[in-house]
Amino acid sequence: MPEQENKNDLRYIKIGLKIAYYRKMNKLTQEQLAEKIGISPGYLSQVETSSFVQPISLKTLFALADTFQISPHKFLEFDE
């Protein structure tokens, strides 16, 4: 796997873990959050699962940030 692709896969995983963190902090189930932002619970589950690389669109990222009332950049801050 090319180095850049591997690096991006790790970023998607970290974003998914942050989404799960904020979801739990807001006491929402995956089903509740998915309904709020107009995606399927199955897709959200894939995004949050660290063993599965699932890309996420900016539209979804912005919807999540709005729901959690945080700046979208919070999902993109990584300890490198």
Where exactly are the structural domains of the chain?
3-65
Q: pTM for the whole thing?
A: 0.90
pLDDT band at 78 (very low <50, low <70, confident <90, very high): confident
Tokens 């897709």 appear where? 43
Per residue in 22-55, pLDDT (tens digit) is 999 999 999 999 999 999 999 999 999 999 899 9
Cα radius of gyration rounded to whole Å, the chain: 12
Which amino acid does the sequence have at 50?
S
Given a cut of 70, whether residue 1 has pLDDT beyond it is no
Query: Residue 12 corresponds to which amino acid?
Result: Y
pLDDT band of residue 69 (cuts 50, 70, 90) is: very high
What is the pLDDT at residue 2? 73
CATH number belonging to the domain at 3-65, selected among 1.10.260.40, 3.40.630.30, 3.30.390.30, 3.40.250.10? 1.10.260.40
| Cα–Cα distance for residue pair 21/17, rounded to 1 Å | 6
